[in-house]
Amino acid sequence: MKTKILLVDDHKILRDGIRSLVKGYDDIEVIGEAADGKTALQMVQELQPDLVVMDISMPDMNGIDATRKIRNNYPDIKVIALSMHHDKQFVSEIFRAGASGYLIKDSAFDELDHAIRVVMSGKTYINPQIASLVVESLVSQSSSTPPQSFALLTEREREVLQLISEGRSTKQIAFDLSVSSKTVESHRRQVMGKLNIRSVAELTKFAIREGLTSV
């Protein structure tokens, strides 16, 4: 029985490369592609893949929030994260969201087949380059450790922050999220207060640094 895969990455060249790689295996099949997290959620519902190969930094909805939504709604679907980031914050956040694997993009083609088989067997796969970061994060975790700035924000606040950083107006964000403009403004104020940020420019810098957007 073939493992059905959904590819989610905002770079078509990477999706094309993975699709070409997968064609060489009889027991793995790419059944769909998406360029952002929001589209990925729709395609997961429609296609019901066994596995999602998920980029972390994407427009509209980042891979961390998309992974969390997928895993909450479809706990049997596995997620392997793809990222250019070696930072332990990205690694810990994507695993907290429910991912079962983490690949660095510059080695993805060499490792992907092995990672897929490890994850589909019910185990966790971590790129060797960043495995030490995961161990370090686990060792340092304690109830007294203050939350990372990313974790301070609610899911809706992260959505609003990402859309603001991508240049959307308050009205556009309100339309996209099916809320009022006043609600968007309220979320913006809460985000700025929690992060101690005073301008949209600073919000944008924060979103890029935290991997909330690929801008």
Q: List, for residues 1-28, the tens digit of each pLDDT value.
A: 899 999 999 999 999 999 998 888 889 9
pLDDT computed for residue 143 by the predictor: 44
Of 121, 140, 159, which residue is a domain's last? 140
The larger pLDDT score, comparing residue 74 to residue 146, is at 74
The arithmetic mean of pLDDT across residues 72-82, rounded, is 94
Looking only at Cα atoms, what is the longest distance across the chain?
A: 54
Tally of domains within the chain: 2
- Percent share of the chain, pLDDT over 90: 44
Q: Are residues 76 and 98 in the same domain?
A: yes
pLDDT, position 203:
83
Instruction: State whether 160 and 194 are in the same domain.
Output: yes
Whether 112 and 7 share a structural domain: yes
Instruction: Determine, yes or no, domain membership for 12.
Output: yes
pLDDT tens readout for residues 101-151? 999 888 777 788 899 999 999 999 988 877 766 666 555 554 444 455 667
- Domain of 162 in residue numbering reads as 149-209
Same domain (yes/no): 132, 164: no
Note whether 155 and 84 are same-domain residues: no
The domain that contains 90 carries what CATH number? 3.40.50.2300
What six digits make up the tokens of 148?
A: 């990372």
Task: Report which of residues 196 and 43 the model is more confident about.
Answer: 43
Of 30-44, 151-165, 182-196, where does mean pLDDT reach its minimum?
A: 151-165
Q: Does residue 51 contact residue 78 with C-beta atoms inside 8 Å? A: yes
- Asked if 154 and 57 sit in the same domain, the reply is no
Look at residue 214 and tell me if it is in a domain: no
pLDDT at 198: 84
Quote the CA–CA distance of 180 and 214 in Å, as a whole number: 26
Residue 170 lies in a domain: yes
Domain end position, chosen among 110, 140, 170: 140
Helix, strand, coil share of the chain (percent; to 5):
55, 15, 30
pLDDT in tens, 155-171: 889 889 888 888 888 99
Domain end point (choices 119, 140, 161):
140
Q: Does a structural domain hold residue 71?
A: yes
Q: Answer yes or no: is 128 within a domain.
A: yes
Listed residue (127, 65, 73, 129) closest to 100, CA to CA? 127
Identify whether residues 93 and 52 lie together within a single domain: yes
Instruction: Give yes or no: residues 21 and 56 share one domain.
Output: yes
